[in-house]
Chains A and B, each alone.
Chain A
């Protein structure tokens, strides 16, 4: 009988704790120390917002919301598994070209070789090569030129051992300049290929 009673109490406690908090959302600071904003409306339609590092909102099953302050230690202990599994931001590299040229120089070959080795050693799952041109000359010609640039980079990466299946080539002509210019302006910064590693 005694055991039954304690079992009843145990169940009651379980039910009770089950009701207190069903969802917790916690804000973390970014690498640069900045923190974003998260908002939730509770069951009465009242909006709750958090915007400070390690601030958290608890949402009960009934939709009641309470804020609380976690610490760096508590968050990194409690959530170590997911925090360690979070992918790092895709990296980006730029390769610049001479006027009306899609030819890479020897120094750039060396840099591409280093990037290719990095790709093969660090579990990169996608390589995107995006070709760009400046706005000097014919738009259609520039599109083709930007494609030739992207292909030149992609082919060099393949030569250095990056599997073709990983590489995706895109080209935007003069449509996405790094430095916006008036039409028909040669611009060294816009004659480029961006490599994005995911």
Chain B
């Protein structure tokens, strides 16, 4: 009976497990206080090794930074007092389906691009205030002043 129950629980949890959106990036380093608000509005503090998902909104406190490695090897760091939203991220290199749209609401970010702009030069954009910046690569800093 106990086994039956275990199998039942297993079957119940499986669709949820399969339906979960895949992560798109890893937190490589955190200094100070950095938090993330997911698409479902839940907020947690970020630490090294945590995963990042599409629609994640990352916020850094004063004297805090975060370093992120995306699936396509895009490297991004975000400085103090910043807000950064991953609007869209798609990396399916086999079908050449790629997209990376983000929004730097405030603060400073540095970026070294990965495979996405190599696969499609029009696939990467960063919004900063009213501007939409097209990124063909490869190493740059964006600053949004308040």
Counting CB contacts under 8 A, is B29 at the interface?
Answer: yes
A38 pairs with B140, CB closer than 8 A: yes
A28 pairs with B129, CB closer than 8 A: no
Counting CB contacts under 8 A, is B41 at the interface?
Answer: no
A23 pairs with B112, CB closer than 8 A: no
Greatest chain A CB density within 10 A among B80, B108, B113 is at B108
Contact string against A for B residues 49-91, beta-carbon threshold 8 Å, 1 for contact and 0 otherwise: 1000000000000000111110001011111100000000000
Across-interface contacts of A89 in B (CB, < 8 A): 73, 75, 112
Counting CB contacts under 8 A, is B37 at the interface?
Answer: no
Closest to A43 in B: B130
Total interface residues on B, CB under 8 Å, equals: 44
Counting CB contacts under 8 A, is B27 at the interface?
Answer: yes
A27 pairs with B140, CB closer than 8 A: yes
B128 pairs with A23, CB closer than 8 A: yes
Contact string against B for A residues 1-44, beta-carbon threshold 8 Å, 1 for contact and 0 otherwise: 00000000000000000100111111111100011111111010
Known: A23-B128, A36-B138, A123-B29. A81 touches B75 (CB 8 A): no
Which residues 167-198 of A sit at the B interface, judged by CB distance below 8 A?
198
Across-interface contacts of B78 in A (CB, < 8 A): 82, 85
Counting CB contacts under 8 A, is A125 at the interface?
Answer: yes
A59 pairs with B138, CB closer than 8 A: no
Closest to A22 in B: B129
Known: A81-B79, A81-B80. A23 touches B49 (CB 8 A): no
B110 pairs with A86, CB closer than 8 A: yes
Query: Would you call the interface of chain B mostly helix, strand, loop, or mixed?
Result: strand
A114 to chain B, nearest CB (A): 21
Across-interface contacts of A82 in B (CB, < 8 A): 65, 77-79, 108-110, 141
Complex alpha-carbon distance, A87 and B29, angstroms: 8
B145 pairs with A36, CB closer than 8 A: no
A25 pairs with B128, CB closer than 8 A: yes
Counting CB contacts under 8 A, is B31 at the interface?
Answer: yes
Closest to B104 in A: A23
A87 pairs with B68, CB closer than 8 A: yes
Across-interface contacts of B69 in A (CB, < 8 A): 87, 90, 125, 198
Q: Which residues of A are in contact with B by a Cβ distance under 8 Å?
A: 18, 21-30, 34-41, 43, 59, 61, 63, 75, 79, 81-90, 123, 125-126, 198
**Considering the complex of A and B, which 4 residue pairs feature the smallest CB-CB distances, nearest first?**
A36-B137, A36-B138, A85-B77, A85-B65
Apart from A36-B139, A38-B135, A90-B69: 11 A-B pairs, beta carbons within 8 A: A18-B145, A25-B128, A26-B141, A38-B133, A41-B132, A81-B65, A85-B77, A86-B67, A86-B111, A87-B77, A198-B26
